[in-house]
Amino acid sequence: MGLLSLLIFLPLIATTIILLLPSSLRDSYKYIALGFTIAQFTLAGYMYSQFDAAASGVDTVSGYQFVEHLSWIRMDLGTLGKLEIDYFLGVDGFSLPLLALSAFVMLMAIGASWNITKSLKGYFSLLMILNVAVMGIFCALDFFLFYVFYEVMLLPLYFLIGIWGGARREYAAIKFFIYTLFGSVFMLLVIVGLYFSVTNPLTGAHTFNMLHMMNPANYVENSFFGYINNYNEVFGISARMIGFIVLFFAFAIKVPIVPLHTWLPDAHVEAPTPVSIILAGILLKVGGYGIIRICLSIFPDAAVEANWWLGLIGIISIIYGALNALAQKDLKRLIAYSSVSHMGFVLLGIASLTAEGISGAMFQMISHGFLSAALFFLVGVIYDRVHDRYIYNFRGLTSLMPKYTGYVAIAFFASLGLPGFSAFIGEAFVIIGTFNSESVGTGIPRWMAIAGSLGILLSAAYFLWTLQRMFFGETRLKGGEEWASALVDLNKREQLILFPTLALALLLGVIPSLIFDNLNSSVLNLVALVKQYI
Amino acid sequence: MKELLTISPISMSILVVLLPFVAFVIQAILGKKSISGIISLVAILTSTLISGGFVFSAVWNSPPASATYHWFTIGDKTFTIGILLNNLTVLMQFIVCIIALPVHIYSRSYMKGDSGIHRYWMYLSLFCFAMLGLSVSKNLFMLYIFWELVGFASYLLIGFWFTREAAVQANKKAFLVNRIGDLGFLIGIAILFSSFGTLDLVDLFGKDGIFLQGIDKNTGWMTAAGIAFFLGAMAKSAQFPLHVWLPDAMEGPTSVSSLIHAATMVAAGVFLLASVFPLFNETVLLIIAIIGTITAISSAFFALGQYDIKKILAFSTISQLGYMMVGVGIGAWDAAMFHLATHAFFKCLLFLSAGAVIHEMAHLKAHGNQAFDAQDLRNMGGLRHYMPKTFILMAVASLALAGFPLTSGYLSKDAIVITAWEWALHHGGLYLVVPILLVVVSILTAFYISRLIFKAFFGEFRVKDLDPTRLHEAPSSMLIPMLFLGICALFFVFSWNPLSYADAGILKGLAVVYPFPEVHAIHIVVPILLVCGSLIACWVGWRWYAKGRYPLNADNRWVQASLNQGYINQFYQKTFIESTLKLTQLSYWFDLHIVDGLVNLSAKVVRSLSAISSWIDRHIVDGLVNTVAGTIYYIGHLLRWIQNGRLQNYLGFAFTVVLIGIIYLIIR
Amino acid sequence: MITLTHFLVVSVCIFCIGLYAVLAKRNAIMILVGIELMINSAVLNLVAFGRYDKVNYGGQVFALFAIVLAAASVAVGLAIILSVYRKYKTIDPNNITDLRD
C-alpha cells in the first residue's frame, strides 16, 4: 500500500472506529478525528517535502510521483472490447499543493467542530468520509476513479448541510446537491465518450486512464472524441469542443462561475462553520483543479479556442461577485460572494494559458483556501457567541474583542490582496499573466486584465467597509448588554486554529517559492502541452 | 551572507530598512507592556545614523551600487528582490530617516497618555520599515509591495482613533483612493513585464538599461504604461482628482500627518516618477505637468477658505506636491526631488508646530470643559504671546513655504518655476499657462499661509470665558525636534548660496540634463516676481486678518466653494459612491431574482412538470384502465333490470328467445 | 270441409290467448287458466294430428294423458297459489319478486 492510498484511506479507519465505538464514548470522537487528521496532515507534509520539484507531471506517468497503479475492474464485454478500470493514483505539481491544503483545511474544520453537539457519531464519520473523497479526487488519475470520488464527495456534504445546517438547511442542501449532480451527470456522458475514443496503447483495450486521454496518439480514428478527421458535431459544435464545454461546466459549477454560482451563498450561509470552511477551502478548488487537470489537459485544442470565453466568464465572476459582496448585509453571505469574486481570478488566470497566469491561478486557489477558511471560521466565532451575523447589528467590536478584530483585520487585508500575504501574489500574477497573454498570443485581450484588476479595488471596498461598519466606531450592539457579555474575545482553541492559518498565508506571501518551486515544471509542461494548438 | 556582515553600503541599507521592522515585531509581541516607544525610537535613531554615516555618505556622488537576490521563480521567469543605491534612492532614504527621527522624538511627548499608544509605535515602525524599503527597492515589484505597505500603515494610522467615525471614514477613503492608484501601478508593472520580461529598475532604466538604449517610447502601450504609473503616483501623492483622501487623512494624530501625509509617503509618488522617469514620453510628461498644475492651483484655492488648521496644511501639501509633479512633467525631476527634500522639512515642521498648538488648545479645552474645536482657526488668536518659540518656528516654516529668500523653499520653488518658464518658452504657445499658474499659486500660497499665521498667532484669543494664560510653550522634547527641522528649513542646509539654486547639492548630485535651453533673464525676473507677489500677498493677509479689515462676505460663492473644497467630495459621493452602491443593489437584486430566480424557476418548472405527469398518470393512464372496468360494470348494470324477479317477464323472455331461435331456424 | 289447417288455426288462437293470459294477467289463477288453455291447444293439436295414426290412436291416447296431467298440474298449481297467498297475502305475480337479484 502506497503513501497516497494511506493518505486517502486513513480517515476511513477513523470512520470505522467512530462507528464502532458506543455512544457513551461520544466525547472521544473528536479526538479520534483530530488524531487521524493530524496524521494525515503530517503525511501530506512529509510528501510535500519529499516531492521532486523537477518532475513535470501532467501528461506522462514518469512526471508523477508516489504513483500507484493496480488493476481494479477488468471485464470482457464481448464485441465492445474489454472494460479496463484502474486504481491509478499519483501526484504532480498541480495536485500536491492542493492535497496539502486539503489536509490543512480538514484539520481546521475538525478544530472548528469542537462545539458541535448534535449526533456526533454521524457528524464525524461523515466528515471523515468527505475527507477520503476529497483526497481521492486530487490523487486519482483514472477518470472512472476520479468520478467515483467526485460523487462520493457529494453525499456526506448533503447530509452535513442538511442535518447540521441553519434555518433553511434542507433547501440549501438539496440545491447544492442537485446543482452539482446536474454538472456531473453530463460529465459521465463525456467520460463514457472518452472511454470509447481512447485505447491503451499497451493492451489495445479502451481505457479510463487520464494520461492516455491526454495523448492524441491514443485516440481511435473516427471515434467520437478523436483528434484526426473528427467531423462529429452536436448542435453544430464540434465534438471535442462539446466535450470540453460539458466538462468545463461540470467543474465550473464547483468553482463556481457566474451565473452558476447561486448554490454557493445558500450552501455557505446554511452550512455549519466547519462545513463552510471545507466548502470554501477545498470544494471550490476541486473545480479549479478539474479544469486544469481535465479540461485543459485532455482537451487542449478546445481550450485554446474557448479561452476568450473562459476569460470573460472569469472577469464577470470577479466583478459581479465583488459587486454582490458589496451589497450584502449578512457577513457570511458577503464572504461567500467574495469567494465567487476571488475564484474568478482563478478562472481568468487559467484562461490566460500563460505560465504566470496558471501559476497565479494555482497560487490564488491555495491562498483562497487558507484565507476563506479563516474568514468563515471568523464568522463562525461571532455566530457562536450571539447567533447573529447581520453586519448592521454590530458596531465598534474592537473595544470588546481586540484580538478578534486583529485577526479579522489581518484576514481581511490578506484577502483584499495586501502585499506580504498570499492573495496578493496570486492576484498580481493572474493580472500579470493575463496581460502577458497578448504577448504570448494566447488571445486574452489586455482589457480583461484591467477589468479584472477592478475586482481588486472592489474587494478592498467591501472588506474595508465591513471593517468600518462592524468593528470601528463606538460600541453599539443590537443585543445590548446581553451581547456585550456574550461577545468574549477569542479563546485559546480559536487562536490555535487561526494563527497558523494566517501565518501560513503570510509565509506564502513572503516566500511564494514554497509553492512555485514544486509547481513550476508542471505548469511549464502544461503550457507546452497547450501551446501546440495555438 | 558574507556580504551582509561586511560594512558595505548595501548591507547597511538593508539594516536601515530592517531595524524599524524589528522594532515593529518586538512592539507587536510586547503589546501593552511597552508604551514608551523607546524601541521604535532606538531603531529609527540607529537607522538614521547608519543611513547618514554609512549609506548616504558612501553612495552620494559615487557610482551606484546594487545587489540582487533571487526571490522566486514562476514558470521560467525569475523574480528578484534587490537593493539599489544611487543618488536618488539614498537621498530619499536619508530624507525619510531624518524626518522620521524628530517625529519619533516629538511623538513621545505628543502621544503620551493615549490608551492605544503601543499600537501607535507599532504602526509607526511598520511605516518606517515600508517607507525605507520603498526608497531603496531595486525591483518594481518589490517597490509595489512597499508602496502598498506604506498605504496600509497610513490606513492604520489615520484610523488610529478608531472610535471616531470621521477617522474610520477617512482611512477607508484613503485606502480606497490609493487602491485606484495601486491598480494603475500594477497595470504599469504588467505592461512593462509583458513587454520586456523584467522589472528590474537597473535593467529597465539604468545607464545600460533598455530605455536608455533607445527604444520607441511613443507606442500606445508605453504611453499607457506611463499613464498607469502616473495614476499610481497621482493617488499616493494626492493629485487632482484623486486628492480627496489627503484632507480627510488629517483625522490621524498630527505627528502622523507630519511624517506620512506631509513629508514622506505622499512624496513617494514623485519619487516613483523620478525612478521610472525614462519611461515617460512627451505625451505622458505633458499630462503630468497639466495634472500637476491643476492640482497646485485648485488645492491652493481650497486652502484659502479652510478653517481647520490641519486642513490648510493638507491642501498646501497637495499644492506643493502639484509643484513637484510639474517639475517631473517638465523633465526637471531633479528640481522636483529638491523641492521634495526641502518641502519635507518645512512642511513637517509646520505640522509639528500646528500639533503643538492643537495640543495646547486641547489641554485648554479639557480644562475649561468647553466644547470647541481645538483645530479651528476661529478659536485661536494671539497665541504668539503664549507660545513664542512655536510661533517663531512656525513662521520660519511658513516663510519657507511661501518661498522667501534665505529659506530652503525659496531655492527649490524657484528651481521648479524657473525651469517651468524655460520649458514653456521653449515650447511656446499654450504651454505658458503652466508657469503663469505656478506663479499665481505661489502668491496664493503666501496668502493662505500668512492667513494661518495671522489668524492663529496675532490678534486676541477668541474663545470666550477661557483663560489663555493657561496656554504655554510645548515641552522641550517637542520643541527640540521642531528646532532641528526649523534649522533644516533654512537655505544653508541645501546650498551655500541663498539666492540661487544653481549651487544646490541635490541638483548637482542628480544632474539632469534638460532638453531645453537656459534663459538667463528668467533667473532674475522670476525670483523677483515671486518675492514681490508673496510680499504683497502677505501684506494683504496682514491687513485682512491681523488688522481685522476683512473685506469679503463669508457667504460669497467663491469663499464657500473654497471652504467646501470645490464640492468635489459631494460630487464623488453622488456620482461614484452612490451609483456604485446602487449598482451593487441592482446586481444583488439581479442575482437574487434573475439568476437565482432562474434556478428556482427551473426547479419550479421541473416540479410542475412532474405534477402534470402525475396528473396524466392518475387521470389518463390509470383512467383508461378504470374506464374499461367502468364500462363493463355499466353494461352489466344496464342488464340488471332483466333480473327483476317477475315470473311473467322471465317467461316472456324465454318465449322471446325461443321465438328468436325459431325465427332464426326458419330464415336460416 | 274442415281441414287440418282449421284445427291448427283454432289451436294457435287458443294458444295465443293462453300465452297472453300467462304473460299479462295480474292474477295467478288467471295464469293457471292460461296454462290450461295452452295445454288444451296442444291437446287439440294432438287430436287433430291423431288422424294420421289410425292404428294406435296415439294422438287421442296422448291427449287423454295430457288432460289427466293438466288436471293434476292444476291441482298442484292451485295448491301452490294457495300457499303463496298464505305467505304473501296476494296472488299478483308482479308483487312476488323474490327472484330478483
| The pLDDT value given to residue B431 | 87
> Which residues in chain A have their CB less than 8 angstroms from residue B163's CB?
396, 398-399, 472-474
Q: Which candidate in B637, B639, B647, B649 is best for mutational testing of the C interface (most C CBs within 10 A)?
A: B647
B423-432's contacts with Cβ under 8 Å and 24+ in sequence apart are B423/B330, B423/B331, B423/B332, B423/B514, B423/B516, B425/B516, B425/B519, B425/B522, B426/B516, B426/B517, B427/B516
Residue C89 sits at the chain B interface (C-beta within 8 Å)? no
pLDDT (average), residues A114-141: 89
Contacts of B186 in chain A (CB under 8 A): 428, 431, 453, 456
Calculate the CA B542 to chain-centre distance.
35
Subunits next to A (3 or more Cβ pairs <8 Å) are B
Instruction: Please tell me the distance in Å from C55's CA to the nearest CA on chain B.
Output: 32
Q: Which of C22, C23, C98 minimises the CB distance to B645?
A: C98
Asked if C93's CB is within 8 angstroms of B643's CB, the reply is no
What pLDDT sits at residue C75? Answer: 93
Residues 6 or more apart whose Cβ sits within 8 Å of residue B250? B170, B257, B261, B308, B310, B311, B313, B314
Residue B7 φ/ψ, nearest 5 degrees: -85, 80
C-alpha atoms less than 13 angstroms from C-alpha of B255 in its C-beta half-sphere: 25
Residue among B41, C2, B565 nearest C10 (CA): C2
* Angle formed at CA B107 by CA B106 and CA B111, multiple of 5 degrees: 135
Torsion of CA B25, A45, A417, A521, to 10 degrees: 130
Which residue would you say has higher pLDDT here, A48 or B37? A48
Highest mean pLDDT among A141-150, A227-236, B254-263, C91-100: A141-150
Per-residue pLDDT at B369 exceeds 90: no
Which among B71, B75, B587 has CB closest to A359?
B75
CB contact under 8 A, C94 and B648: yes
Convert the pLDDT of each residue in B106-145 to its tens digit. Answer: 888 888 888 888 888 889 899 999 998 998 888 888 899 9
Query: Across residues A131-146, what is the average pLDDT?
Result: 91
* Spatial distance between the Cα atoms of B321 and A392, rounded to a whole number of angstroms: 39
Query: For a pLDDT cut of 70, what percent of chain A falls above it?
Result: 99
How far is residue A133's CA from residue A286's CA, in Å, rounded to a whole number?
11
Res C72: pLDDT = 92
Provide the residue type at B269 as one letter.
Answer: G
- As for the ipTM of the complex, it is 0.90
Q: Which residues contact B307 (CB under 8 A, 6 or more apart)?
A: B376, B377, B378, B563
Residue A148's SS3 state is helix
- Minimal Cβ distance to C23: which of B640, B643, B652: B652
- Which pLDDT score, from 0 to 100, does residue A120 have? 86
SS3 B73: strand
Q: Give the H or E element holding residue B636.
A: helix B622-639
pLDDT band for position B6 (cuts 50, 70, 90): low
Q: Is the pLDDT of residue B333 over 60?
A: yes
Cell matching residue B195? 513587454
Are the beta carbons of B644 and C100 separated by less than 8 Å?
yes
Query: For residues B407 and B343, what is the distance between their CA atoms, to the nearest angstrom?
Result: 11
CB B186 within 8 A of CB A431: yes
* C-alpha–C-alpha distance, residues B315 and B350, integer Å: 13
- Can you give the pLDDT at residue B1? 46
What pairs with residue B83 in β-bridges?
B67, B137
Check CB contact under 8 Å for C97 and B646: yes
Task: Indicate the DSSP class of residue B98.
Answer: H
Q: What is the pLDDT of residue A132?
A: 92
Spatial distance between the Cα atoms of B424 and B293, rounded to a whole number of angstroms = 13
Q: Domains, chain C, ranges and CATH?
A: 4-95 (1.10.287.3510)
CA distance B625 to chain C (A): 27
Cell of A467: 471593517
Closest alpha carbon within chain C to B651: C23
Q: Do the two chains C and A touch, given a threshold of 8 Å on CB pairs and at least 3 pairs?
A: no
**Of B326, B341, B231, B208, which is closest to residue B278 (Cα–Cα)?**
B208
Q: Taking CA atoms, what residue in A is nearest to B79?
A: A513
Cβ distance A32 to A14 under 8 Å?
Answer: yes
- Using a CB-CB cut-off of 8 Å, the residues of chain C touching B644 are 97, 100
CB-CB contact of B474 with B329 (8 Å): no
Do the Cβ atoms of B645 and C24 come within 8 Å? Answer: no
Cβ of A324 within 8 Å of Cβ of B584? The answer is yes
Q: Measure the CA angle with vertex A226, ends A220 and A232; round to 5°.
A: 125
B650 contacts on C by Cβ (under 8 Å): 99
- Say if CB A186 and CB A253 are below 8 A apart: no
A-B contacts (CB, under 8 Å): 143
User: DSSP for A487-516?
Assistant: -PPP-HHHHHHHHHHHHHHHHHHH-THHHH
**C-beta atoms surrounding B220 within 10 Å:** 7
Query: What are the distances in angstroms from CA C94 to CA B232, C23, C27, C77, C86?
Result: 115, 11, 9, 17, 16
- Which residue in B has a C-alpha nearest to residue C25's C-alpha? B648
Distance, in Å, from the CA atom of B544 to the CA atom of B537, rounded to the nearest integer, reads 10
Chain B stretch 56-115, residues whose beta carbon is closer than 8 A to a beta carbon of chain A? 71-77
Instruction: Give the Cα separation of B349 and B263 in Å (integer).
Output: 9
Instruction: Tell the burial category of A417 from Cβ atoms under 10 Å away from its Cβ (0-12, 13-18, 19+).
Output: buried
Subunits next to B (3 or more Cβ pairs <8 Å) are: A, C
Three-state secondary structure of A221-284: CCCCCCCCCCCCEECCEEHHHHHHHHHHHHHHHHCCCCCCCCHHHHHHHHCCHHHHHHHHHHHH
Contact B186 A453 (CB under 8 A): yes
Contact B190 A472 (CB under 8 A): no
Residues B289 and B235 sit within 8 Å (Cβ to Cβ): no
Instruction: Select the more confidently predicted residue: B76 or A367.
Output: A367
Answer with the residue of higher pLDDT: A511 or B58: A511
Enumerate the residues of chain C whose CB falls inside 8 A of the CB of residue B640: 101
Q: Which residues in chain C have their CB less than 8 angstroms from residue B646's CB?
A: 93-94, 97
Predicted pLDDT of residue B609: 94
pLDDT confidence bin for B451, thresholds 50/70/90: confident
Q: What is the pLDDT of residue B632?
A: 93
pLDDT of residue A1: 67
Burial class (CB in 10 A: 0-12, 13-18, 19+), A267: buried
Query: Comparing A509-513, B440-444, B460-464, which segment has the lowest mean pLDDT?
Result: B460-464
Q: Quote the cell numbers at residue B599.
A: 434556478
C-alpha cell at A291: 479544469
Q: Are A89 and A67 in contact (CB under 8 A)?
A: yes
Say yes or no to pLDDT of C10 above 90. yes
Strand-pairing partners, residue B84, are B66
pLDDT band for position B500 (50/70/90)? confident
Question: Checking DSSP bridges between strand A233-234 and strand A237-238, what pairing results, if any?
Answer: antiparallel
> How many degrees, rounded to 5, is the angle at CA B516 between CA B515 and CA B518?
130
Classify burial at B389, counting beta carbons within 10 Å of its beta carbon; exposed 0-12, middle 13-18, buried 19 or more: middle
Q: Which three cell numbers mark B411?
A: 531655492
| Chain B interface includes C19 (CB < 8 A) | yes
The answer to whether the CB of C11 falls within 8 A of the CB of C45 is yes
Distances (CA, A) of A272 to A237, A519, B218: 42, 33, 57
Candidate from B92-101, B367-376, B635-644 with smallest mean pLDDT? B367-376
Q: How many residues does chain B have?
A: 668
* Cα A508 versus chain centre, distance: 18
* Residues 6+ positions from B268 with CB-CB distance below 8 Å: B131, B134, B147, B150, B233, B236, B237
Q: Which of C12, C15, C20, C23 to mutate to test the interface with B (most CBs of B within 10 A)?
A: C23
Determine contact, residues A104/A253, Cβ cutoff 8 Å. no
Confidence of residue B9 (pLDDT cuts 50, 70, 90): confident
For chain B, the domains span 281-556, 592-657
Residue from the list B75, B186, B194 with its beta carbon closest to the beta carbon of A520? B75
What's the burial of A36, exposed, middle or buried (CB within 10 Å: 0-12/13-18/19+)? buried
Nearest CA in chain C to B640: C101
Closest of B445, B436, B448, B375 to residue B407, by C-alpha: B445
Mutate to test the interface with A, among B591, B593, B606 (most CBs of A within 10 A): B591
Number of CB atoms found within 10 A of residue A31's CB: 11
Kindly list the residues from chain A whose CB atom is less than 8 angstroms away from the CB atom of residue B149: 418-420
Q: Once rounded to an integer, what is the mean pLDDT over residues A259-288?
A: 89
> pLDDT-based confidence at A232, cuts 50/70/90?
confident
Average pLDDT over residues B368-394: 81
pLDDT tens-place string over residues C27-45: 888 988 998 999 999 999 9
Interchain contact, B643 vs C101, CB within 8 Å: yes
Taking CB atoms and an 8 Å cutoff, what residues of chain B touch C98? 645
The residues that bridge with B77 in the sheet, in sequence order, are B74
Please name the residue that has the C-alpha cell 518658464: B421
The model's pLDDT over A472-482, given as tens digits with 9 standing for 90+, comes to 888 888 888 88
Please name the residues in contact with A253: beta carbons below 8 A apart, sequence gap of 6 or more.
Answer: A179, A180, A182, A183, A260, A263, A287
Q: Do B71 and A359 touch (CB under 8 A)?
A: no
CB-nearest partner of A327 from B152, B176, B587: B587
Contact B646 C94 (CB under 8 A): yes
User: Which pTM was predicted?
Assistant: 0.86
CA distances from B187 to A79, B192, B268, B308 (A): 59, 9, 18, 37
Are B449 and B537 in contact by the 8 Å Cβ rule? The answer is no
Interface touch A435/B77, C-beta < 8 Å: no
